[in-house]
Structure 1
Amino acid sequence: MSFNNKIIWITGASSGIGEALTYELNQQGAKLIISSRRKETLEQVKNNCSNPSDIHIVTLDLAKTDELPSKAEEAISHWGHVDYLFNNGGISQRSNAIDTNLDVIRTVMEINFFGSVALTKAVLPSMIERESGHIVITSSVMGKFGTRLRSSYAASKHALHGYFDSLRQEVYDKNIKISLVCPGFIKTNVTKNALEGDGSKHNKMGKGQEHGMPADEFARKLIPKINRGKEEIYIGGSEIWAVYLKRFFPRLLNKMLRKVKVT
């Protein structure tokens, strides 16, 4: 199976993992819809591609869930359908739970969880009608366990697993696949753009991200796994082992995390 001529919609495509996926899938011959809030940046990404004529831009804000059904109509109508939806857009958080305002928690949940759910619900009927489709959700290793300073972020990613694991069972007989992707430390601006407890931008590069896997390498490793229809995917460095420690030795992991410096 190849991505040549497949219609793929990628959110969060203006930077980081989404941008890297755009370049890699464009090279593989896919026809892309790329989305984020920043049209100018999306235009730059499009112009950087080897086949820019195969890219359509749909600007959207995942926090504005009431607008997403019309955005889905726009995206679907451009190429006629969507084969793959990459729910990649999101935001992180860096603050102790006690210091995090409730509206910040709501913002993280609105973007990471409700935004992905709303967009999926808007695209899903057309996939069910065609009895074909693949929904990819960028979660995180934080979707499998939590650390200090990331309570809201981890909660939003845990919620994605509960929702999309359930959805996978409901759409299996419609030939629709669901893949949850759990990156470790990937070198992007996710920490810089993270929200602090009062809603201000963190504006600091975390050490994990600074020394993490380059986004283009991540994209190259991810795409073959999506092609094989893997249901849950872990890509990163040694931090990936924490997922297995959580599963088999949770008390040991908790003891280790209490001693680890997190940024």
Structure 2
Amino acid sequence: MSFENRVAWITGASSGIGAALARELASRGAHVVLSGRDEARLAAVAEGLATESLCLPFDVRDDDAMAAATRAAIDWRGGVDIAVANAGVSQRGAARKTEMHVYREIVAIDLVQQIAFAQGLVPHMADRGSGRLVFISSIAGKVGVPMRTAYCAAKFGLVGYADALRAELSQSGVEVHVVAPGSVATDVSRNALTADGSRRGKSDPAIDNGIPPDEAAREMVDAIALNQREIIVARGMEEALGKLRQTPDQVFDQVAAMVAGGYMEKMEAEG
């Protein structure tokens, strides 16, 4: 597909993978909507883009602000063609020491509010008969990783939601992509929540030596252009683990065939 003159909306766009995706999509001619909590950092990303952009700062936990941003993003140039659910927070803490409020916060940010973001756009895209929903999960959304029980729960859940949504939308013209990055050189580890909910404040060697964000973004956008439904962007052992747990395309096709055969209509008729 061509990204020329498409509108791409990215959450978590002030740094890291989100900012890199904004740069990559803009370099391919997309008009980019940038969202995140820090307006100044969003503006700095916008200044470096090759095409027209719009900054819509909000906290994904604020449903009213998200709804207002959704209306603004749709109205900006007549619709949203690509939506990237990228906002999130990671974790570094053993399960036996992690307080429940940390689980609730991570699952809310990384799963529930990513679903809310998508749900605000599903009717818009389905009514238009086109669009792409992109969910940034993680290798930790395919393989359980120690010290990240809340993060894994949320990222696994995001994959499940996206897979079910893809099947439901398979006859609508709307495509759904799941991206599972491994270690990418961002501040994800520094910003991770510890067992008591405080910010970790330091990075990991695996993250510091990870894939450069611009390289990761280029791989992601290349795969989206090829209409790949589950996209692994990782190296070494992380790549091997991700591909070991990667869902075969035949499974996606089989579930989509159920929808094409009237599965949803039958279920709805049965109440």
Aligned length: 246
Provide closer, same or farther for how the CA distance between residues 42 and 247 of structure 1 changes in structure 2, counting only shifts above 3 A: closer
Which residue of 2 is the match for residue 5 of structure 1? 5
Aligned equivalents of 1:186, 1:247: Cα separation in 2: 19
The partner residue of 1:208 within 200, 206, 209 is 206
Residue in 2 that maps onto 1:46? 46
Match of 1:199 among 197, 204, 209: 197
Indicate conservation of the 8 Å contact 2:179/2:230, yes or no.
yes
Q: Which amino acid aligns with 1:242?
A: L
Within-5 A mapping of 1:87-166: 87-166=85-164
Output the CA distance in 1 between the equivalents of 2:67 and 2:4. Answer: 27
SS in 2 for 1:136: strand
Q: In structure 2, what is the Cα distance between the partners aligned to 1:70 and 1:195?
A: 28
Of 41-50 and 64-73, the range deviating more from structure 2: 64-73
Letter in 1 for 2:67: P
**Contact kept in structure 2, 1:65 and 1:114, CA below 8 Å:** no
Give me the CA root mean square deviation.
1.4
Write the distance in 1 (CA, Å) between the matches of 2:241 and 2:175: 26
1:246 Cα deviation after fit? 5.1
User: How far apart in 2 are the matches of 1:244 and 1:127?
Assistant: 30
CA contact (8 A) 1:62 1:110 kept: no
Q: What secondary structure, in the 3-state scheme, does the structure 1 residue paired with 2:170 have?
A: helix
Report the Cα offset of residue 222 of structure 1: 1.2
Aligned runs of 1:7-22 on 2, under 5 Å? 7-22=7-22
Which residue in the other structure is 1:58 paired with?
Answer: 56
**Residue 98 of structure 1, CA deviation:** 1.2
Between the aligned partners of 1:162 and 1:43, the Cα distance in structure 2 is 33
Deviation at 1:212, TM superposition (A): 0.4
Partner residue in 1 for 2:172:
174
Question: TM-score of the superposition, structure 2-length normalised?
Answer: 0.88
Q: What fraction of aligned residue pairs are identical, expressed as a percent?
A: 35
**Is the Cα contact below 8 Å between 1:168 and 1:177 reproduced in 2?**
yes
Match of 1:86 among 84, 87, 90: 84
The answer on whether the counterparts of 1:94 and 1:194 sit within 8 Å (CA) in structure 2 is yes
* Paired residues of 1:33 and 1:57 also in contact (CA < 8 A): yes
In the alignment, the residues of structure 1 paired with residue 181 and residue 119 of structure 2 have an alpha-carbon distance, to the nearest angstrom, of 24
Distance in structure 1 (CA, Å) of the matches to 2:159 and 2:220: 18
Asked if the contact 1:138/1:180 (under 8 Å) is kept, the reply is yes
**Structure 2: gaps spanning 5 or more residues:** 248-271
> Which AA in structure 1 matches 2:193?
L
Whether the 8 Å CA contact 1:12–1:18 is kept in 2: the answer is yes
CA contact (8 A) 2:230 2:246 kept: no
Contact 1:141 1:183 in 2 (8 A): yes
The answer to whether 1:30 aligns with 2:30 is yes
Q: Tell me the TM-score normalized by structure 1.
A: 0.91
Q: Aligned to 1:174, what secondary structure does the other structure show?
A: coil
Q: 1:80 Cα shift?
A: 1.1
Bigger shift: residues 89-98 or 70-79: 70-79
CA contact (8 A) 1:63 1:107 kept: no
- Contact residue 17 and residue 186 of structure 2 kept, 8 A: yes
